[in-house]
Structure 1
């Protein structure tokens, strides 16, 4: 849809991505643009509410719709979400948003999507017992496996270019983790650790669709038969093509969090044999966690006190992925 002539005042000024992030959840700042989208497509402009978390401007209305505005410097996320949602919606056994409208306002692409019911898994996870947690992780593994089996034709623009991507990530790995304030004793070990793990990393892969969003903030659950069940998945702005192992990290770090039983429930549901839950797999996953484009272990490792427990990257590897398991 071609962009309409729009007054620049629809969007608030900001100097850089950090400046945008500071105002991103301010509904008042983006209200003119949201109302313009609603008027353009005949959407309800009542009951508007902004979501505090996320990367882009996300607003709901009381008609069960989500309006998502992407700043021009995040246009690639708009393309990723549009393409990935178009591929997964209706093709995996979990609810995903339906794209209802798309367009652009003054260089800002946007999507209008259906809103899914449920609460985030992040909200309910602390109250879940061990059995419910294992069932949730197994369910996530099943969903992930189905997504990885989808055809990737037409999604070539999302390809990470894995081999070159890995080289870039290795080159910048120390600097990134120093900026993320990983303890310096661990940062200093990164070159040697990655050298030891290098033969284990996937190479020349046949890429699959990676949503990048198997994290508790982007998985929705509903209560069914007295238990919480994973029923929805949202936010596909980080979708890409790459090796299947790259998608394993979110559930392993955020949810399984050092539990051998939960790691096993998840990874077996992903098609990994119990016999393959070995120290070599631990090292491969730890290396991928270090090399992830959004790696921030201080936020992602959900093991209380891990900084004081892990004297080395090898110790951290075993703390998160205590393989072998029986």
Structure 2
């Protein structure tokens, strides 16, 4: 049953109008101008430690505001996190200035030590598991057969190396960013965070921020200070936990092969 935001506000001893944010898969309420209450049902309580640990690790350490933790606990069946409210609007993308700012944010993010709570503990094992189920996942997403046939050979041809794990947001995309007057004013939503290869981060950023625009990609990676290998990013696009290549293709440049997509989507 959908939680009652006003009842939860009162039980927490808070004041202010309660407004439910329409976006997102979890119930999230603004309480007045200064607070946000995010809720998890029982089957997702295990996500709360990640949200809390990353929120605490990032606050005040990025070139963009992130929420400050106020409280966490359980009310009835709902786990909750009470945090400060960020202000702004979802940025219009692709945009060169926003892309450059995202690159700066990612550079700072990846310098912060990943909290111990983050998974996976073994990146190579995670990659192997994702590779084993990759074709089946994309088949379930209704990826056409001509693309499915390319996946095994393409993944086998990409050397993903032995990367130093960094703190990954994993979903740095327009819907998790805010901007005011052309400047980023917020980054939020940390429960999908992981530890792993830095190129994995550029899947979401490339598809949902730069969106195949070469000028925007260049601005982002120049600000980041390191150029991700396009084929590695394409491989992680296939291996991403939430990969849905047919959906990605709707708003991205077209090509005939995965190698061509790598260049069209993730290079200057």
TM > 0.5 between the two? yes
Provide closer, same or farther for how the CA distance between residues 302 and 254 of structure 1 changes in structure 2, counting only shifts above 3 A: farther
CA distance in 2, matches of 1:267, 1:77: 30
Deviation string, structure 1 residues 125-184 (Cα, Å, up to 9, x no partner): 37xxxxxx21211111111111111123xx222131211100110001001111112222
Matched, 1:113 2:83: yes
| 1:243 corresponds to 2:197 | yes
Alignment of 1:160-309 (within 5 A): 160=120, 161-197=122-158, 199=159, 201-203=160-162, 205-223=163-181, 228-272=182-226, 281-301=229-249, 303=251, 306=253, 309=254
**Candidates 26, 30, 49, aligned match of 2:3:** 30
Deviation of 1:63 (Å):
4.0
User: Which residue is 1:147 aligned to?
Assistant: 109
CA contact (8 A) 1:257 1:301 kept: no
| Residues 1:138 and 2:105 are matched in the alignment | no
TM-superposed CA distance for 1:113, in Å, is 1.1
Please say if residues 253 and 302 of structure 1, whose CA atoms lie closer than 8 Å, have aligned partners that are also in contact: no
Q: Where does the alignment leave 5 or more consecutive residues of structure 2 unmatched?
A: none
Q: Give the Cα–Cα distance (whole angstroms) in 2 for the partners of residues 169 and 221 of structure 1.
A: 34
Shift of 1:88: 0.1
TM-score, length-scaled by structure 2: 0.92
Deviations 1:32-87 (A, max 9, x none): xx34432232112x532222221211111224311111112212321111000000
Aligned residues: 267
Q: Which ranges of structure 1 fall in alignment gaps of 5 or more residues?
A: 1-11, 13-28, 127-132
Q: Distance in 2 between matches of 1:50 and 1:182?
A: 35
Residue pair 1:202, 1:243 contacting (<8 A) in 2 also: no
Two-structure CA RMSD over aligned residues (Å):
1.9
Q: Helix, strand or coil: the match of 1:217? A: helix
Instruction: Check whether the contact 2:93–2:210 (CA below 8 A) recurs between aligned residues.
Output: no
Choose 140-149 or 181-190, whichever is displaced more.
181-190
Q: Tell me what 1:318 maps to.
A: 263
- 49, 55, 60: which is aligned to 1:79? 49
Look up the SS of the partner of 1:30 in the other structure.
coil
The answer on whether the counterparts of 2:9 and 2:31 sit within 8 Å (CA) in structure 1 is no
Name the SS for the 2:87 alignment partner: coil
- Higher normalized contact order (CA 8 Å, seq sep 6+, divided by chain length): 2
For 2:216 and 2:225, locate their aligned partners in 1 and report how far apart those are by CA, in whole Å.
15
Residue 241 of structure 1: CA displacement?
1.2
Distance change >3 Å, CA 319–CA 252, structure 1 → 2: same
C-alpha separation in 1, matches of 2:27 and 2:147: 35
Q: Is the 8 A contact 1:257 1:302 kept in 2?
A: no
C-alpha displacement of 1:283:
1.1
